Structure 1
């Protein structure tokens, strides 16, 4: 989700806290896109394209978050933390669904990432209301008394 006021990802225009609108093409606040002749500049990643570009890494990350949430459920902030954790932990390709990335094996004999169909993914069978965060450590069982 991209805000059409400040052009940043993660919130909509109704929740934007910026006082003035920003041009989607050049990241300046004194005009609208249809009047813009400046070189494109992405407000999200500082790339040489408009903030509405589908090639922006920030856009691709947001798409991965929304895709994972749609397929698996869970609180939005927890899904975002899990995706960000995977991005920093592994070589993460945001064009491939997060659930397919983590469900594939790392050994050399495994199928290429993203080849597993969503209906066969073990993450599709989980309770969609329960999202297991990689940030939490398992709670040890209490010792058994004899």
Structure 2
């Protein structure tokens, strides 16, 4: 268990460092692996907690694009963790719920749950970094 946590933290830290030092990589257009997974998560794009927060802010188009890219990347990574029946269940559960509520209703295996939790944590870190850069820019004006 300790080894798994260490590995997961190592991977998260490396990804975070890469995204901070190589920001253009995180802005790259994603490759469509699952053509229908984009439609699944498109329904929940407006109900994610950070999208509501970003709607109230006066973000630049580039910052909005960065947040959208982070959310799209999260959706693809979560979709890759799920099997086809779980993706179908998730699509059903997204109606009226945000993605986090929909994921809680799925019966994920422990290893899937760990991966999804890591993806969500990392996504939240990236969104916080983008929003903190925004607050620094606002503070400088």
* Structure-1-length-normalised TM-score: 0.24
Q: Which has the larger radius of gyration?
A: 1
Higher RCO structure (Cα 8 Å, ≥6 apart): 2
Name whichever structure is richer in helix by fraction.
Answer: 2
